[in-house]
Amino acid sequence: MKPEDLAIAFESVLDDIVARSAVTDAFINRDTYRLYIATLWSNVVLNPREVGIEEGDLEALHEIVNDRVEADLGQGSDITECFRFINSKAGELAMQQASLTQTHKELLLYFSSMILDPEGHKRWMDDVVDNG
């Protein structure tokens, strides 16, 4: 899919994330927004075809989502920063306050591990497979 088509396809989802995270017309709850972006990205990566894209579209979509996150949260904000938040005490509290299920929390923490420490994640997964 062309990047322009990806941007159009995901515009309504990204707009919805902003709307669901809104505190007022001018402000969004940054914690809620980060939870939604991390959830979106985790689900898209897990099953791109379910959302109508191919695995090869992920890189272009990553850029599109990063651009939108930066526009919504400010310079230096991106998907990685959202997962860094998930992996923090504040993220843990936000997940609790949002009443995420244990499975949802584990999904976000799993992706945090993959994104923030890919080598450590690979060692951990290798250990799980070897001892599984």
- Residue that the structure tokens 């250990």 belong to: 127
Number of structural domains (the chain) is 1
Mean pLDDT of successive 10-residue segments in the chain (132 residues)?
A: 93 96 90 98 94 93 97 95 96 96 95 82 63 66
Cα 88-76-31 angle, rounded to 5 deg: 40
Task: Check: CB of residue 67 under 8 Å from CB of residue 10.
Answer: no
d(CA 74, CA 57): 25
Tell me which residue range forms the domain holding 71. Answer: 3-131
Task: Check: CB of residue 7 under 8 Å from CB of residue 64.
Answer: yes
Report the predicted TM-score, pTM, of the whole model to 2 decimal places.
Answer: 0.89
Distance between terminal CA atoms of the chain?
38
**Which residues lie closer than 8 Å to 27 by C-beta, 6 or more apart?**
none
